[in-house]
Amino acid sequence: ARTVERREDGVVAVGGVPVTEIAAEFGTPAYVLDEDDFRARAREYRDAFAGADVFYAGKSFLCKAVVRWIHEEGLHLDVCTGGELAVALAAGFPPERMGLHGNNKSVTELTRAVEAGVGRIVLDSFDELDRLTAIARELGARPKVMIRTKVGVEAHTHAYIATAHEDQKFGLGLDEAAVMAARVLDEDVLELLGFHSHIGSQIFDASAFEVAARRVLGLQAKIRDERGVELPELDLGGGYGMAYTTQDDPIPVPELAERLRKIMEHECAGYGLSEPRLSVEPGRAICGPTTFTLYEVGTVKQVPLDYGASRAYVSVDGGMSDNIRPALYDASYSATIASRASSAAPVLARVVGKHCESGDIVVKDEFLPADVSPGDLLAVPGTGAYARSMASNYNHVPRPPVLAVADGTVRVIVRRETEDDLLRLDVG
Ligand code: LLP
């Protein structure tokens, strides 16, 4: 379903629209999102996980258009703050198909979620349990809840540690989770759906999910043994990896779904449990690959390196304010000249932003044609997740727009910030 291609003249086009036209009409930098690709990835998860519920993790990228697509493609939605909840409600997403996350939800956020009828609230602490119980009593509601566990598996990228330290802020250890489950079951004001586990992000190794599933189902069995209750649901979180560069090798979605299904079946049989309804929360894997950032090159500097070579520092008109991931996580991306062909020899280049920090890197190491020059458009693929959603106004740089391309038409789904937007918050 991807509609991004390089035309014969060397210009990159998305949905048939050349990036040169997009830049001329909407300016740079801009996030250019392939709507068909987004919808196709959402559907791929929905279909592969048929019989389970797929909650799109809104933190990866959310705006009203995305909320509508997610609904139209039949997914559920995971939000983790009052702000994300507000966007989802403003776009008309059915509250009963939403889940609310967060390790420090405020009374306001919880109240709003209960009033709106959010389908499930994922409890993350005993303080929150007290808070939600009080709110539910006051409102005369009976919200559905899950309990976020830490299963002792921590997975990131290619590795996972099956006995990870529990020294992090999210969730409850398995013993504490059992205590909380007993308390929720004793309170008739909350309805306990089941347990939740999220083990990390950008994961390529499905066995980490298998270990997590085994442990959380063990907890499920313990509740059954102690309380005689089989909890109806289980959430295994998100974190499925995507390819940022050719080095990354994501698990095909049908294969991932099949492995999770098998492990559920196997472990439930082992514990003599009837299978709870599974839900998952992919974010990055759906939105990440759908978007590239389009920048314009402003300056090129040759910087001599110690060993006689040199590196071209290619500065673009954005940077760490529109994608903090290289600076924050040392994340890798690639870049290509998108506005023309070049037969010049490739040279070692570093794509950098316009911010006042030497760590303001867009792509750390890339080979670009030696004739890369001011005015060239650069495309940096794979910026659909955690780029716009983590964007800032550092150095008072307005945040770029998100442009959705579908059927040969470009539509602004998030407009470019203006200097007026930046000034609007200043009082006096
Ligand atoms: N569910 C829960 C409870 C989560 O905490 C997260 C991500 C997800 C689902 C979705 O994970 P995904 O499928 O998108 O990996 N800013 C970081 C990633 C932070 C992820 C936080 N939680 C990054 O840019 O790599």
Q: Which two tokens stand for residue 388?
A: 């716009």
Q: Are residues 204 and 329 located together in one domain of the fold?
A: no
Of 248, 284, 330, 392, the residue with max ligand 1 atoms within 8 A of its CB, to mutate for a pocket test, comes to 284
- Look at residue 305 and give its three-state secondary structure: coil
214's tokens = 């085994």
Residues 204 and 278 in one domain: yes
Strand partners, 221: none
With a CB cutoff of 8 Å and minimum separation 6, the contacts of 128 are 104, 105, 110
User: Of the candidates 256, 287, 318, which is a domain's last residue?
Assistant: 287
Tokens of 91: 């776009």
Q: Which of 391, 387, 321 is nearest to 359 (CA)?
A: 321
Residue in 169, 261, 165, 151 with CA at minimum distance from that of residue 206: 261
What is the tens place of the pLDDT at every residue in 20-35?
999 999 999 999 999 9
Give the list of residues 6+ apart from residue 397 with CB closer than 8 angstroms, or none. 318, 319, 321, 322, 354, 355
Q: Which residue segment(s) compose the domain that 138 sits in?
A: 35-287
262 lies in the same domain as 303? no
Tokens 């509250």 correspond to 95
Domain count, the chain: 2
Q: Does one domain contain both 280 and 293?
A: no
**Residues of the chain where predicted confidence (pLDDT) is lower than 50:** none
Length of the chain: 428
pLDDT given at position 162:
72
> 419 and 345 in one domain?
yes
Per-residue pLDDT reduced to its tens digit, 68-87: 999 999 999 999 999 999 99
Extended beta strands in 177-270, E state: 191-197, 200-203, 233-235
Q: For residues 279 and 54, is the Cβ–Cβ distance under 8 A?
A: yes
Residues 109 and 212 in one domain: yes
Q: How far apart are CA 291 and CA 384, in angstroms?
A: 5
Specify the ligand 1 atom closest to the Cα of 285. 13
pLDDT in tens, 347-371: 999 999 999 999 999 999 999 999 9
201 and 245 share one domain: yes
Which CA distances in Å does 53 have to 72, 232, 235, 280? 14, 13, 9, 6
Q: Are residues 224 and 359 in the same domain?
A: no
pLDDT of residue 158: 72
Ligand 1 site residues, Cβ closer than 6 angstroms:
57, 59-60, 78, 101, 198, 201-202, 237-240, 281-285, 325, 329, 385-386
Quick one: pLDDT at residue 163?
64
Name, in order, each residue with C-beta under 8 angstroms of 238's C-beta and a sequence gap of 6 or more: 57, 78, 198, 201, 280, 281, 282, 283, 284, 285
Here the CATH number for the domain that contains residue 378 is: 2.40.37.10
Residue 299 to residue 317: CA distance in whole angstroms: 10
Choose the residue to mutate in 60, 149, 154, 234 for probing ligand 1, maximizing ligand atoms within 8 Å of C-beta: 60
